[in-house]
């Protein structure tokens, strides 16, 4: 399956400050391996803005611009425009933001860049809460999850915002979900995204042992269970119109995914059933969209 | 070539003459015609640049920061709530040492809504690390933008060129537009020593410990203080090319003045007329227009007030619970240096009320003789207040 030669130069060097088992660091390594060194990263506040290392150290060997929380997509668009007027249309300008910096405070700037058709690749590494500040709820936190602002006395009631549908509704040329537990699929989609011009969005599932409450060696397993259970299905959307499922194994129940994570341990049987219902509903809607456009599917 | 134009038209032409490469902006009254004109110049390819129609002022400033970090000359313009909405990114721009230039059209902040002249918007940004320059006429708007790019790119600090809403933005005046070749000689292309570059990868704004943090901020503080001299030396260079001088402080009849009235922006003209009237009345009056407000132009200000016994400041702004912001700035400068100088602070013209020569002369008389219509509030006196 892994027919691609490994990247001849490792762009992610030792010394990151992430927690053991951090899904977001695996994601960065896989993403940089796919994109290569002609890449500029733009990062808002978030886990990655600290785990890159303390100045003057950095674990990354590509340029990194650390920006204000709400400004990621706008700074990235500005960098792209600045490069472009100087004749550089080849460098990938990549916004790399957490779920807070994408679903919440970064959404307006992201929507603006998407509407303006700015040539940036926006990657959201989604660990489903404000992990860097101590696991506060974001609009990417799933219903029923414990966070430090949705404590046991008041678990989150609201479902997770569907960020890919929002971006797809802008009609951007490419949007896709990727998962650190499916690195070949991730590499394939990132390489595809790299070669498309215009705004591209990648939703990267990045489990967090610290915030989700599971043993650090289970990160990849939990990422895979999220795909198998359809909590985080893998798919692509072209031009906001053509939806295409990625290869996935048979569907399993969400219990297998929920049971490893302490954040879900206070969920009632009723909340678990509701969680399953929501996943089933989203999955059916996704299948409908993919089937409706199957005749137009891209390769 | 001399042309009749508004301050906003002059601003757009200046950005074009500066050959800006990226314009990232969001519309707000009374700034709109600046960015409308620039989008048209870019659309008609009179200016080879990218126009980024952003979805907010926060993103407009983020856009010019990004473009500048990539090595492009970048421009934006805003006003009032737009400037205040940018506040976070203003800090970021100065901290990132990007030499961007922004025009701000000084307009009141709501509530209540008001579109007219007031300086609270930009003066409330005085701690963000931007160089702030306030223009007196449309010619100065055009010239100051060109000087600003030169200053910004030498210092690697951002410059805000301020102009009074409607008094300058929408009032037509005769403006001498320099030719492109002359501007190109004065202002060569921006060639940054440091930029975001995949061939020379660096981090920008990475997390930093307290030891280095203090050193970085200290250096920036020094470089910001040096902007006063840098502006004046660059303005002299500009005058060598174009025969128009735009110093950090414009002093009028201060050589032997006992009493001196101080203000910023378009009130400068009325202040000069008021000085002439007061001189006829036998008062040794002078006036100072502070063109630069950040950094505070200490050298020229101190020189200009060497004979002054009574300083009278007219603030078109207020820091609620304190006093006018110019008054605070001047008092901070005078403390321990000129404890013997008497000081009176007025707050006048907020929300667009005209500050006429007669208003100004009246305020000076009130400061000196005690009779007038301005009413006391803490350490300042307010004009045009219904009680």
Residues B136-157 pLDDT 10s: 999 999 999 999 999 999 999 9
How high is the pLDDT of residue B181? 98
Cβ distance B92 to A71 less than 8 Å, yes or no, reads yes
> Both tokens of residue A289?
């969209």
CA distance A50 to chain B (A): 6
Judging contacts by C-beta atoms under 8 Å, the chain B residues touching residue A64 are 201, 203-204, 206
How high is the pLDDT of residue A299? 44
Residue A255 exposure: Cα atoms within 13 Å on the Cβ side: 5
Q: What is the CA radius of gyration of chain B?
A: 21
Contacts of B188 (CB under 8 A, 6+ apart): none
> Both tokens of residue A51?
């785990």
Counted residue by residue, chain B has a size of 387
pLDDT tens readout for residues B86-115: 999 999 999 999 999 999 999 999 999 999
CA distance A144 to chain B (A): 34
pLDDT tens readout for residues A35-81: 999 999 999 999 999 999 999 999 999 999 999 999 999 999 999 99
pLDDT bracket for residue A9 (50, 70, 90)? confident
- The C-alpha atoms of residue A186 and residue B211 are separated, in whole angstroms, by 40
pLDDT tens readout for residues A225-271: 999 999 999 999 999 999 999 999 899 999 999 999 999 999 999 99
Q: Which CATH architecture has domain B2-242?
A: 3-Layer(aba) Sandwich (3.40)
Shared fold status for B2-242 and B249-382: yes
How high is the pLDDT of residue A293? 55
pLDDT bracket for residue B31 (50, 70, 90)? very high
Cβ distance B196 to A79 less than 8 Å, yes or no, reads yes
pLDDT tens readout for residues B290-343: 999 999 999 999 999 999 999 999 999 999 999 999 999 999 999 988 889 999
Q: What is the enclosing helix (H) or strand (E) of B90?
A: helix B87-95
Cβ distance A81 to B207 less than 8 Å, yes or no, reads no
- The C-alpha atoms of residue B73 and residue B53 are separated, in whole angstroms, by 17
- Residue B55 has its nearest CB partner, among A37, A79, A111, at A111
- The C-alpha atoms of residue A183 and residue A162 are separated, in whole angstroms, by 23
CA distance A37 to chain B (A): 7
Judging contacts by C-beta atoms under 8 Å, the chain A residues touching residue B74 are 78, 82
| DSSP single-letter state for residue A104 | I
pLDDT bracket for residue B159 (50, 70, 90)? very high
Domain boundaries, chain B: 2-242, 249-382
Contacts of B204 (CB under 8 A, 6+ apart): A63, A64, A65, A66, B69, B96, B196
> In the predicted model, is pLDDT for residue B370 greater than 80?
yes
CA distance B331 to chain A (A): 34
Output the average pLDDT for chain B: 97
> Both tokens of residue A179?
């998962």
pLDDT tens readout for residues B165-211: 999 999 999 999 999 999 999 999 999 999 999 999 999 999 999 98
Beta bridge partners of A179: A205
Cβ distance A63 to B196 less than 8 Å, yes or no, reads yes
Q: How far is CA B67 from CA A78, A82, A243, B92, B131, in A?
A: 4, 4, 34, 14, 19
Residue A85 exposure: Cα atoms within 13 Å on the Cβ side: 29
- The C-alpha atoms of residue B203 and residue B235 are separated, in whole angstroms, by 34
pLDDT bracket for residue A4 (50, 70, 90)? low
CATH 3.40.50.920 is right for the domain spanning B249-382:
yes
Cβ distance A65 to B197 less than 8 Å, yes or no, reads no
B292-294 vs B342-347, strand pairing mode = unpaired
Judging contacts by C-beta atoms under 8 Å, the chain A residues touching residue B49 are 85
Mutate to test the interface with A, among B18, B63, B93 (most CBs of A within 10 A): B63
- Residue B205 has its nearest CB partner, among A37, A65, A83, at A65
| CA-wise closest residue to A46 among A63, A78, A22 | A22
Contacts of B223 (CB under 8 A, 6+ apart): B155, B156, B157
Beta bridge partners of B53: B25
Q: How far is CA A143 from CA A147, A271, A276, B50, in A?
A: 11, 8, 11, 43
- Residue A58 has its nearest CB partner, among B58, B198, B206, at B206
Judging contacts by C-beta atoms under 8 Å, the chain B residues touching residue A16 are none
Instruction: Confirm if A128 and A160 have CB atoms less than 8 A apart.
Output: yes
Q: Is B203's Cβ below 8 Å from some Cβ in A? A: yes
Cβ distance B206 to A64 less than 8 Å, yes or no, reads yes
- The C-alpha atoms of residue A2 and residue B9 are separated, in whole angstroms, by 60
> In the predicted model, is pLDDT for residue A5 greater than 60?
no
| CA-wise closest residue to B300 among B245, B238, B232 | B232
Q: Is A107's Cβ below 8 Å from some Cβ in B? A: no
Cβ distance A66 to B71 less than 8 Å, yes or no, reads no
Judging contacts by C-beta atoms under 8 Å, the chain B residues touching residue A77 are 52, 63, 66
- Residue A54 has its nearest CB partner, among B52, B88, B207, at B207
> In the predicted model, is pLDDT for residue A112 greater than 80?
yes
In chain A, residues 37-96 whose CB comes closer than 8 Å to chain B? 37-40, 42, 49-50, 52-56, 58, 60-68, 70-71, 73-86, 91
> In the predicted model, is pLDDT for residue A2 greater than 50?
no
How high is the pLDDT of residue A8? 56
Contacts of A58 (CB under 8 A, 6+ apart): A52, A64, B203, B206
Q: Is B207's Cβ below 8 Å from some Cβ in A? A: yes
Helix axes of B227-242 and B138-155: crossing angle, nearest 10 degrees: 130
- The C-alpha atoms of residue B376 and residue B155 are separated, in whole angstroms, by 42
Size of interface A-B (CB pairs under 8 A): 164
Q: Determine the average pLDDT of the residues in B44-68.
A: 98
Contacts of A174 (CB under 8 A, 6+ apart): A192, A193, A196, A198, A200, A201, A236, A237, A238
Q: Determine the average pLDDT of the residues in B336-362.
A: 94
- The C-alpha atoms of residue A19 and residue A132 are separated, in whole angstroms, by 10
CB atoms within 10 A of CB B242: 18
B172-176 vs B2-6, strand pairing mode = antiparallel
| DSSP single-letter state for residue B163 | E
Judging contacts by C-beta atoms under 8 Å, the chain A residues touching residue B194 are none
How high is the pLDDT of residue A1? 40
| CA-wise closest residue to B364 among B340, B346, B385 | B346
Phi, psi angle pair for B160, to nearest 5°: -110, 120
């Amino acid at each position: 399956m892994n027919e691609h030669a490994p990247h001849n130069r490792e762009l992610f060097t030792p010394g990151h400050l992430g927690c053991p088992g951090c899904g977001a660091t695996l994601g960065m390594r896989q993403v940089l391996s796919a994109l290569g060194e002609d890449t500029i990263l733009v990062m808002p506040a978030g886990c990655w803005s600290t785990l890159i290392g303390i100045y003057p150290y950095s674990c990354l060997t590509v340029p990194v611009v650390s920006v204000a929380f709400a400004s990621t997509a706008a700074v990235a668009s500005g960098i792209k425009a600045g490069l472009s007027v100087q004749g550089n249309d080849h460098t990938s300008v990549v916004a790399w933001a957490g779920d807070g910096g994408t679903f919440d405070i970064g959404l307006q700037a992201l929507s603006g860049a998407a509407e303006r058709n700015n040539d940036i690749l926006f990657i959201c590494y989604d660990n489903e809460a404000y992990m860097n500040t101590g696991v506060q709820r974001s609009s990417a936190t799933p219903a029923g999850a414990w966070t430090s602002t949705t404590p046991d006395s008041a678990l989150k009631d609201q479902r997770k915002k569907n960020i890919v549908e929002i971006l797809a509704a802008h009609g951007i040329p490419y949007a896709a979900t990727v998962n650190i537990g499916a690195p070949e699929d991730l590499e394939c989609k990132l390489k595809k995204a790299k070669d498309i011009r215009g705004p591209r969005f990648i939703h990267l599932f990045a489990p967090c042992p610290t915030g989700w409450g599971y043993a650090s060696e289970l990160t990849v397993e939990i990422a895979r269970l999220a795909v198998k259970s359809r909590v985080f299905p893998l798919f692509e959307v072209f031009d906001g119109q053509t939806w295409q499922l990625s290869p996935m194994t048979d569907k399993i129940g969400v219990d297998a995914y929920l049971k490893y994570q302490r954040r879900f341990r206070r969920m009632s049987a009723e909340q678990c059933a509701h969680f399953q219902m929501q996943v089933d509903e989203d999955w059916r809607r996704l299948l409908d969209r993919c089937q409706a456009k199957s005749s137009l599917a891209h390769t | 070539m001399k042309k009749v134009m508004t301050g906003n038209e002059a601003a757009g032409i200046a950005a074009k003459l500066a050959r800006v490469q990226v314009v990232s902006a969001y519309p707000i009254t009374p700034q709109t015609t600046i960015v409308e004109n620039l989008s048209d110049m870019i659309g008609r390819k009179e200016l080879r640049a990218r126009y980024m129609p952003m979805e907010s002022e926060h993103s407009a400033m983020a856009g010019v920061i990004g473009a500048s970090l990539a090595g492009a000359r970048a421009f934006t313009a805003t006003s009032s709530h737009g400037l205040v909405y940018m506040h976070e990114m203003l800090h970021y721009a100065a901290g990132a040492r990007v030499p961007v230039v922004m025009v701000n059209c000084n307009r009141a902040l709501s509530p209540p809504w008001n579109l007219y002249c007031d300086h609270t918007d930009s003066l409330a940004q005085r701690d963000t690390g931007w160089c702030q320059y306030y223009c007196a006429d449309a010619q100065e708007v055009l010239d100051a933008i060109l000087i600003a790019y030169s200053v910004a790119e030498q210092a690697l600090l951002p410059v805000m060129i301020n102009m009074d809403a409607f008094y300058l933005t929408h009032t037509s005046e005769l403006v001498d537009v320099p030719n492109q070749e002359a501007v190109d000689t004065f202002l060569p292309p921006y060639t940054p020593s440091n930029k975001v570059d995949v061939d020379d990868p660096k981090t920008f704004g990475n997390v930093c410990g307290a030891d280095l943090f203090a050193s970085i901020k200290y250096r920036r503080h020094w470089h910001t203080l040096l902007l006063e001299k840098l502006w004046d030396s660059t303005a002299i260079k500009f005058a060598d090319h174009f025969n128009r001088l735009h110093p950090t402080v414009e002093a009028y009849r201060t050589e032997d003045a006992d009493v001196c009235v101080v203000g910023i922006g378009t009130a400068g003209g009325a202040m000069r007329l008021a000085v002439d009237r007061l001189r006829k009345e036998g008062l040794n009056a002078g006036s100072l227009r502070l063109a630069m407000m950040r950094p505070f132009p200490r050298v020229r200000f101190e020189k200009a007030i060497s004979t002054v016994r009574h300083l009278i400041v007219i603030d078109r702004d207020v820091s609620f619970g304190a006093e006018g912001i110019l008054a605070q700035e001047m008092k901070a400068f005078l403390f321990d240096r000129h404890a013997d100088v008497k000081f009176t602070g007025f707050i006048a013209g907020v929300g667009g009320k005209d500050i006429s020569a007669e208003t100004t002369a009246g305020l000076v008389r009130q400061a000196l003789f005690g009779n007038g219509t301005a009413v006391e509030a803490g350490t300042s006196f307010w004009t045009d207040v219904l009680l």
